Structure 1
């Protein structure tokens, strides 16, 4: 079946011609420039493929395991470098799911999974997180949903878009539920490493033999333009199936993306970049949290991790109408409506981008619109 557009991308396409003065939904850390990497780049680097492995540069795959704390559990052969986490997710879903297969996914969650379920004619079974429960994951609902026909469970940790974290115990329980039926579990970890509440949670690839961890350098490191991500799985057949599919789509990775990502994930650089990302994110999160506390027309469950969260609008106006009004003059401020995540009474707020997104000014304009609507 034809892949249809989802609301998030539809809204982005519809608003790209606007020139906002401030952004309230920035979802990645501030981006470094190419100049930050020039001293480590070889000017004689061939712009052919890496000529070493179809799975990606070996050094890069080693860094991927190190940052996910999987060095003792997984090997570089368990890693496939992809064109972002989105391609990693796509390769898994496209190879595992056939028409009629059951596919368990969470809502709110990353919209890609729902789009692919429909396109692949898989039977989507939704696990609903509720705001009243702090967006906690309803484990009982998962246990009831998974059966012998369930091919894949798709989750995010931290949850995208609420920032709710799975605990280590919850991840182990998910693995136990899946293991009973031989079901694969994919956990998208694009925001891992940006925990505001405790330590980084373990990756499912290290917990469960059919666990698949996906991630990228896009969000926490602000390197979205490199289009460099990965999947990690101890099931070598699944990894090889993903290689086969990629051979018929993107075929190989772009060498500049691989090389710069390898540099960015070197331990010293990675730790410095993550320290900066956490500091900037926490500063913006505290500002946003104080703002929401003072606004009678807004409330939210503060994210435990990541750079985005959902805030409830206590208005008759829905999220998309509100977002479009905020984007128009005189406010000229951008955010994503909750409609993109099947939460029409919400708006997505982001704390990424550091000082460049002009968050304080954006909040001032948001306050002015709320005051107008309240009046």
Structure 2
């Protein structure tokens, strides 16, 4: 098995040293600082593993269930703490998907599952979200795509990168589709809790025996560097298989990630952090929507949740070359080209990062870049 690099990661690798002065596309909330947690950290904490449970710090697993709305529905044994949602997705996909299996994906969507599925030798079936339909997931096409050959369905909810949200009714319909053929249904929930026009959708791990919920502290809480996430699944075999695979990769969780995440997810701290993230994200979203309404050449479907969305470029501009153009002098502004999501006529716009990303400056430079960019 050889994992090929995806366009999204390739762009990040090539531009990581660029030192932009503004970011238009920040995908996580403003990050807290280590000093915010020092009073509650034990200086005598051994820097060994947690010495309690291979599947994760018990207190942290309890917080994970609570924030997902799964208390009394799933149990701590249904939770595995992982190195971010990326490892959570990796462990589930690599253990459940075999060569020649079929996996149904959404596009645009988080590309990790497609990369891994192709490396395994599985067949990828895509269901396309369309901008003209406000990026909604077409359930009729999903029903046609899911067949007795389908081993897994992979979705993100809220959707990464469009910000669309599947509500409880839609999720239950997809569960019925999956159950008819016995497929696993994996839903990545890294942006859950940042809904702008409705409630948080229920977690699929509490709706379906083969439902897999993954999440992390990376996006909504802005704690990407902790590399702390989770799998929740009521199937004991899947959790056991994921532990076995993790034993041969990252092996155990880093204790500092677990301990700081446990503090961050304590009910009072979590609610305060989420309120701050929603307040700052909502303010940046309002600023973005106001700015876009005044633009003649750029538009988007405002995300219903999360911190990112896709902006449509005018005809004659390809997102890849334009993103590199904007990263150079005099603009020095970073954004991610939509080609990273198979949407070359779009750019990823983001409203995360609080005030530190210089959003107003970035938007001004983006407008100037659009005026200056040579058209084909």
TM-score (norm 1): 0.99
Work out whether residues 322 and 373 of structure 2, in 8 Å CA contact, stay in contact via their aligned partners in 1: no
Aligned-partner Cα distance in 2 for 1:315–1:8? 22
User: Residue 89 of structure 1 corresponds to which residue in structure 2?
Assistant: 89
| 3-state DSSP of counterpart to 1:303 | coil
Which sits farther off after the overlay, 232-241 or 365-374? 365-374
Aligned pairs for 1:94-133 (under 5 A) are 94-133=94-133
User: Residue 236 of structure 1 corresponds to which residue in structure 2?
Assistant: 236
TM-aligned CA deviation for residue 108 of structure 1:
0.2
Aligned-partner Cα distance in 1 for 2:331–2:78? 48
User: Residue 204 of structure 2 corresponds to which residue in structure 1?
Assistant: 204
Q: Which runs of 4+ in 1 moved over 4 A?
A: none
1:157 aligned to 2:157?
Answer: yes
Q: How many residues align?
A: 375
User: Residue 329 of structure 1 corresponds to which residue in structure 2?
Assistant: 329
Aligned-partner Cα distance in 2 for 1:293–1:264? 37
Q: Deviations over 1:62-115 (max 9, x none)?
A: 000000000021001000000000000000000011110000011000010110
Aligned-partner Cα distance in 1 for 2:59–2:124? 37
Aligned-partner Cα distance in 1 for 2:218–2:323? 25
Gaps of 5+ in 1: none
Aligned pairs for 1:64-75 (under 5 A) are 64-75=64-75
TM-aligned CA deviation for residue 142 of structure 1:
1.1
TM-aligned CA deviation for residue 374 of structure 1:
8.4
User: Residue 190 of structure 2 corresponds to which residue in structure 1?
Assistant: 190
User: Residue 176 of structure 2 corresponds to which residue in structure 1?
Assistant: 176
Gaps of 5+ in 2: none
Superposition RMSD in Å: 0.9
| 3-state DSSP of counterpart to 1:55 | coil
Aligned-partner Cα distance in 2 for 1:8–1:193? 25
Aligned-partner Cα distance in 2 for 1:144–1:371? 43
Which sits farther off after the overlay, 292-301 or 344-353? 292-301
TM-aligned CA deviation for residue 373 of structure 1:
3.8
Aligned-partner Cα distance in 2 for 1:64–1:137? 27
1:135 aligned to 2:135?
Answer: yes
User: Residue 362 of structure 1 corresponds to which residue in structure 2?
Assistant: 362
